[in-house]
Amino acid sequence: MKKKIFTLLFVGLMTIFMTACAGAIAPPAPDGAEDTHAEDSDSHDDTEMAEDDAHGDDEDHGDEDMADADMMGPAGYESWDAVLAEAEGQTVNWFMWGGADNINAWVNGPVAETLLADYGVTLNMVPINDTAEAVNKVLAEKEAGQDDNGSVDMVWINGANFLTMRQGDLLFGGWSEGLPNYAFVDASDPSVQNDFGTPVDGYESPYGKAQFVMIYDSADVETPPATIPELVEWIKANPGKFTYPAAPDFTGNAFVRHICYEATGGYEQFLGEFDQALFDEKFGACWDLLNEIEPFLWREGEYPESDARIKDLLANGEVHFDMDYNPGSAGNLIEDGVYPDTVRTFVFETGTIANTHFVGIPYNSPNKAGAMVLANVLLSPEAQLQKADPAVWGDLPVLDPALMSEADAAAFDALPRHPATLSTAELSANRLPELQADWTTAIEQGWIENVLEN
Partner 1 sequence: MKRFSKGVAIALIIFGVLAPFIPLLIWSVARRWYFPAILPTEWSLRGWSYAFSNASRLPQALRQSFAVSTTASLLAILIGMPAGRVLGLYKFRGKTLVEFLILAPTIVPAFAVVMGIHVLFIRYGLADTLSGVIIVHLIPTLPYVTLVLAGVFANYNVDYESQARSLGANTWQVIRYVMLPAIYPGVIVAGMFAFIISWSQYLLTLMIGGGRVLTLPLLLFSFASSGDNNVTAALSIIFILPAIALLVITSRYLTGRNASLGATRGN
Residue 313 · residue 306 · CB < 8 Å: no
**CB-wise, 134 or 398, nearer to partner 1?**
134
d(CA 387, CA 192): 18
CB of 243 to partner 1, least distance (A): 15
Amino acid at 371: A
Cβ closer to partner 1: 181 or 367?
A: 367
Spacing of C-alpha 323 from chain mean position: 16
**Cβ 331 to partner 1 shortest distance, Å:** 15
CB of 324 to partner 1, least distance (A): 11
157 — phi, psi (to 5°)?
Answer: -150, 155
Question: Residue 6 or 62: which CB sits closer to partner 1?
Answer: 6
- Burial of 142: CB neighbours in 10 Å, binned 0-12, 13-18, 19+: middle
Q: Quote the DSSP letter at residue 203.
A: S
Q: 343 - beta bridge partners?
A: 217
Residues in contact with partner 1 by the rule CB under 8 A: 2-3, 5-7, 9-10, 13-14, 16-27, 29-30, 93, 95, 97-101, 104-105, 107-109, 124-129, 133, 136-137, 139-141, 143-146, 151-152, 306-309, 311-312, 315-318, 336-338, 340
CB of 318 to partner 1, least distance (A): 7
Closer residue to partner 1 (CB): 272 or 419: 419
- Degrees (nearest 5) of the Cα angle 205, 207, 213? 135
Instruction: Note whether 437 and 444 are within 8 A (CB).
Output: no
Q: State the nearest-atom distance from the C-beta of 255 to partner 1, in Å.
A: 17
DSSP three-state, residue 292: helix
Q: Which is nearer to partner 1, 151 or 428 (CB)?
A: 151
Shortest reach from residue 192's CB to partner 1, in Å: 27
Q: How far is the CB of 235 from partner 1 (least distance, A)?
A: 22
Cβ at position 294, least distance to partner 1 in Å? 24
Return the number of the residue (276 or 342) whose C-beta is nearest partner 1: 342
Q: How many of the other CB atoms lie within 10 Å of CB of 332?
A: 24
Beta bridge partners of 217: 343
Residue 207 CB coordination number (10 Å): 23
| β-strand partners of 356 | 209
Ramachandran angles phi, psi of 156, nearest 5°: -90, 120
81 or 341: CB nearest partner 1: 341
Identify which of residues 89 and 265 has a Cβ nearer to partner 1 in the complex.
Answer: 89
